[in-house]
Structure 1
Amino acid sequence: MSGTTVLWLRADLRLHEQRALYAACAPGTRHVLPVVCLPDVQACSPWGFTRLGLHRRAWLACTIQNLSKALQDKGQQLLILQQPAVRALPALARAAGARRVVCEAIAAPEEETEVAALRVAGLQVHTIWHSSLLDPHSLPWPVAQLPPVFTAFRQAVERAAVQPPAPLPLPVPGHLPPWPKRVPGQSPCDQAALLADFAGAPVPADARSAFPYADAALHPGAAGEAGALAHLAQYLARGLPHRYQRTRNDLLGLDYSSKWSPWLATGALSPRLALARLRQFEAEHGAHEGSYGLWFELLWRDYFRFLHLRHGGALYRARGLGPARATPHDAAAFAAWCAGRTGQPLVDAAMRELAATGYLSNRLRQVVASYLIHDLRCDWRAGAAWFERQLLDYDVYSNQGNWLYIAGRGTDPRGGRRFDPLRQSALYDPDGTYQRLWGTAPVPVAGQRGAMMLP
């Protein structure tokens, strides 16, 4: 084994429950070089827009900055690179005298292609699976036999009483192997400049947001592991898990849902630690349908990961997992949907919130996805790409799985889900408060039945 290991941090930007870090520090390793490769902010989707919007860029930049500080506190450093990993890591490994790279395993096509390219370049890449709550090897069946429906998956997991591994302890402070001397470090000023350039124009805080990440006065957490742990602690301390099932479909406010997803998406929060703390909460305050609902949602998150392990690139075909069929697309209707100008008040309000804040409730994500696919007759992949750009809590597994589910091209036994926006408005925004907040509330027109939309 080489005495130097490159630790390539991907969607696991934390130190707690950091199994890739433990693997990188295996016996025989004298030096560890932690590195993050910034995504290309100019990269475009096939639909003609950049893949990384300002909200995601700002959230990710702050997350990386927090990780850098955490490593400094443990006597280590983080190297931030602007080039793609397939170009940057072979050159870095040569400079550091390393052949071994340790990184998170991500079972999505682009991410697997990156690892394959590094191996072709001569690097020994050791991948670690640690993004799911449950260990894939602990399931009641091999992943290749994963049930085709989530309910069957959940019921089998619960019958077998499958539990996640206990979270790993943090590494002992000051005991991480140091950087190799052959690689010069980055000054705090250099890192700050790189991250500021990556983040782009500052994103103004919006007091209407259900997740006002840009305004510390409105939200108790911040990007990165420190913010994740602080948010989790206050969420549990306030007893909010017991409210979760009752409020999870609300559209307004900070506390209607757990808001764990922004930290889970970057890996700043491990789902195993989140569940371990939730179980402690239940032991002290009692289990409840609300706390069960959080377990339920973490299982959904796992299921989409295991679907990728089973089906891989098939999840990215227009047909998804179903038979070949037409996939219509209306470019003008799609553009109106992105801009929040379809004329459907609830959909437009949601799309305006998404654009302004980078966040949207789970209920509204389903409503707008359904409207794009089933009412506007647009390609589901275009909607998935727009969410990839806009959502600060974008997660490749959950995004793809949810869009396939709504489109009826994934594992939904009903063959797709259509949400009637008028009925959804009546159920979840009966007095129009949410739609008024985002400037789309319908108002009566004198002498006419129906309504018109405010500009």
Structure 2
Amino acid sequence: MAKKTAVYWFRNDLRINDNPALAQACLQSDQLALVYCLEPEEHTIWGFNRVGLHRKNFLADTLLDLARQCQQRGSQLLIVEGKPALALPRILQQLQCQTIYCEAIAAPEEMAQIDSLREQAYEVEAIWQSSLLNPSELPFSIEDLPQVFTAFRQQIEQMGVLAPAPMGWIEKLPELPKAALAIPQVDIKAWAGIAPIDKRSAFPYDQPQWQGGATMALAHVQRYLASGLADQYKQTRNGLIGSDYSTKFSPWLTSGALSARQIDQQLKTHEAMYGANESTYWIWFELLWRDYFRFLHLRFGVQLYYANGLKDVATISHQPELFLKWCLGNTGQPFIDAGMRELAATGYLSNRMRQNVASFLIHDLQCDWRAGAAWFESQLIDYDVYSNQGNWLYLAGCGTDPR
């Protein structure tokens, strides 16, 4: 019998464990090429690179860790350059196969990538896997998703909806097709370049224990919970400086080196051993907020990317000169400028400071919130398409919350 050959396309799920889409690809394929596509350099309409140096460096470490894990399990990660809708068909033709497996991402550009591949007559198995809760297990349909987070949370809690347990490690990956060895690959370190990071960073990703990848992600979760910091999270979570005021899970969650279900499982184990309190509950609460932004995308899709968001009318102004001063940390407001300079120097900013600088851009400088969202996309090592869009909409008054 002829062996089935397929491609697994890594997106924002850069891990071997708790990866249902990859597990399905392994189960249904005799030969499997593991591919990550580095998209070409792109400028935003606001005049800066879409992916900044900090993001590139954290991603490079994440991919190197993933490559090591693939190698340990008998395969090889192929890091190629090009837009997925162009790069993946070239690989499929070289391997003489038609099937791609990947995670589903409910954001417009990511959905368009899938549509383009299908229009080229390729079979794409896209599997939803980035949320804590399964959309199919919610106590309402996505069309009836509450438009206020509190109502969403209350229904989840009242119905006792629980997260599924995470899947274990894939111990052995399918054989790599021999033809895949001829595919040109990218030197990921050369691609990333060098991003000097300020030693005062709240997330010093240049240090071994803060580097990207599943290895450091899982170690950090265990270290954080063992430290006792989780038991005082609610009191410290709005801090601005340092590595201990918040969980710091987000950079690993964003890249998919870590899953929400892995955190949930570790958190439940911690609570069973040491007791639950308001702070450990609040970590789960924040994971639920993360889910809510995902489910909003499933419900509203591209509407979340309109200037007026979910509102009928919105007056959008923009001041390019003031926006540039905001980006550079040169507005003349010391508190705001300190935050923006920290972002540029480290690729990271506390949640509370993000709210402060974003609110200042929108309401004080009267700039287009979409420009701010694009700057965060460029700069933040923990940029997440769902949460970034949802939070900026919220602060601009164009989201779901009536406040």
SS at the partner of 2:35? strand
Return the match for 2:201 from 209, 212, 221: 209
How far did 1:47 drift? Answer: 0.8
* Residues in 2 aligned to 1:185 and 1:401: alpha-carbon distance in whole angstroms: 42
How far did 1:2 drift? Answer: 7.1
Aligned to 1:3: 4
SS at the partner of 1:184? helix
How far did 1:197 drift? Answer: 2.5
* Residues in 2 aligned to 1:326 and 1:206: alpha-carbon distance in whole angstroms: 38
How far did 1:185 drift? Answer: 5.8
Contact 1:66 1:225 in 2 (8 A): yes
* Residues in 1 aligned to 2:53 and 2:211: alpha-carbon distance in whole angstroms: 16
- 2:4 counterpart of 1:15: no
Q: Which letter maps to 1:404?
A: L
* Residues in 1 aligned to 2:210 and 2:200: alpha-carbon distance in whole angstroms: 17
* Residues in 2 aligned to 1:73 and 1:81: alpha-carbon distance in whole angstroms: 20
Aligned to 1:245: 234
How far did 1:90 drift? Answer: 0.7
SS at the partner of 2:178? coil
Please identify the structure whose Cα radius of gyration is greater: 1
Residue correspondences, number: 402
* Residues in 1 aligned to 2:365 and 2:9: alpha-carbon distance in whole angstroms: 41
* Residues in 1 aligned to 2:211 and 2:207: alpha-carbon distance in whole angstroms: 9
- 2:35 counterpart of 1:35: yes
- Cα offsets for 1:358-379 (capped at 9, x unmatched): 0000000000010000010000
Aligned to 1:279: 268
Q: Structure 1 regions of 5+ residues with no counterpart?
A: 415-455
* Residues in 2 aligned to 1:8 and 1:157: alpha-carbon distance in whole angstroms: 32
Q: Which letter maps to 1:198?
A: W
- Cα offsets for 1:107-165 (capped at 9, x unmatched): 00000000000011111001010000000001000111100000000010011110111
* Residues in 1 aligned to 2:26 and 2:80: alpha-carbon distance in whole angstroms: 22
SS at the partner of 2:34? strand
Matched-pair identity in %: 52
* Residues in 1 aligned to 2:270 and 2:96: alpha-carbon distance in whole angstroms: 47
**Within-5 A mapping of 1:372-411:** 372-411=361-400
Aligned to 2:103: 104
- Cα offsets for 1:12-33 (capped at 9, x unmatched): 0001101111110234x21011
Q: Which has the higher contact order (CA 8 A, sep 6+)?
A: 2
Contact 1:93 1:99 in 2 (8 A): yes
Aligned to 1:199: 192
- 2:255 counterpart of 1:266: yes
Contact 1:2 1:100 in 2 (8 A): no
* Residues in 2 aligned to 1:210 and 1:325: alpha-carbon distance in whole angstroms: 36
- 2:250 counterpart of 1:255: no
Aligned to 1:49: 48
SS at the partner of 2:210? coil
How far did 1:208 drift? Answer: 1.1
SS at the partner of 1:249? coil
* Residues in 1 aligned to 2:333 and 2:400: alpha-carbon distance in whole angstroms: 28
**Within-5 A mapping of 1:273-312:** 273-312=262-301
Aligned to 2:140: 141
SS at the partner of 1:412? coil
* Residues in 2 aligned to 1:339 and 1:205: alpha-carbon distance in whole angstroms: 16
Aligned to 1:80: 79
TM-score normalised per structure 1: 0.87
SS at the partner of 2:8? strand
Q: Structure 2 regions of 5+ residues with no counterpart?
A: none
- Cα offsets for 1:181-239 (capped at 9, x unmatched): 222167xxx86x62023202x122322111111133xxx33210101011111001111
Give every structure 1 segment of 4 or more consecutive aligned residues whose post-TM-superposition deviation is greater than 3 Å.
Answer: none
How far did 1:382 drift? Answer: 0.3
Q: Which has the higher helix share?
A: 2
Gap change, CA 1:91 and 1:322, over 3 Å in 2: same
Q: Which letter maps to 2:7?
A: V
Contact 2:203 2:210 in 1 (8 A): no
**Within-5 A mapping of 1:130-209:** 130-172=129-171, 175-184=172-181, 194-200=187-193, 202-209=194-201
Contact 1:63 1:225 in 2 (8 A): yes
How far did 1:43 drift? Answer: 0.4
Q: Which letter maps to 1:269?
A: L
How big is the alpha-carbon RMSD for the aligned residues of Structure 1 and Structure 2?
1.3
Aligned to 2:309: 320
Contact 2:15 2:258 in 1 (8 A): yes
TM-score normalised per structure 2: 0.98
How far did 1:413 drift? Answer: 1.5
- 2:332 counterpart of 1:343: yes
SS at the partner of 1:177? coil
